[in-house]
């Protein structure tokens, strides 16, 4: 009698179940390609010297764009993304904090502890120290 529960249901993971997803992806790619093709064929084609010039938000470009930049700008951007993504993980806890109970609370406290440990490490390393 228990062997009935161990049998795999072939209809659960068949490739037919993925057909709507494949069709949607196909039609989305077809639509994007068609729109790009139509705009390329019907759009205006004026290649004047003003249109071919680089645009810098209305400011005349000065110097070489390939000059090296300080790594601190990239470091701050990467750290912002890192901590911003970590903060996003608080939302599911805030929505389900009653259902998660004490185990969820302990998990969030550990998450915040790791979060703060990483932030303290960054401060100690001087990653946000801008004076040179």
Q: Tell me, what's the pLDDT at 37?
A: 96
Q: Tell me, what's the pLDDT at 38?
A: 95
Q: Tell me, what's the pLDDT at 32?
A: 97
Pick the CATH number of 3-61+68-125 from 3.30.420, 3.40.50, 3.90.940, 1.20.58: 1.20.58
Q: Tell me, what's the pLDDT at 10?
A: 53
Q: In the chain, where does DSSP find H-type helix?
A: 3-6, 19-42, 49-52, 71-88, 90-125
Q: Tell me, what's the pLDDT at 25?
A: 96
Domain-by-domain residue ranges, the chain? 3-61+68-125
CA distances from 74 to 17, 51, 69, 77, 114 (A): 44, 31, 9, 5, 23
Q: Secondary structure of 91-128 in the HEC alphabet?
A: HHHHHHHHHHHHHHHHHHHHHHHHHHHHHHHHHHHCCC
Q: Are 106 and 113 in contact (CB under 8 A)?
A: no
Q: Tell me, what's the pLDDT at 4?
A: 52
Which parts of the chain sit beneath pLDDT 50?
A: none
């Amino acid at each position: 009698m228990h062997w009935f529960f161990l049998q795999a249901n072939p209809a659960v993971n068949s490739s037919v179940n993925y057909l709507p997803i494949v069709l949607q992806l196909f039609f989305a790619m077809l639509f994007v390609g068609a729109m790009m093709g139509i705009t390329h064929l019907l759009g205006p084609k004026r290649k004047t010297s003003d249109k071919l010039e680089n645009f810098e938000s209305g400011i005349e470009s000065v110097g070489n764009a390939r000059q090296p930049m300080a790594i601190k700008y990239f470091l701050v951007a990467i750290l912002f993304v890192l901590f911003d993504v970590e903060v996003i993980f608080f939302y599911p806890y805030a929505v389900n904090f009653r259902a998660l109970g004490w185990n969820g609370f302990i998990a969030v406290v550990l998450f915040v502890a790791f979060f703060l440990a990483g932030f303290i490490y960054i401060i100690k390393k001087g990653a946000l120290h801008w004076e040179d």
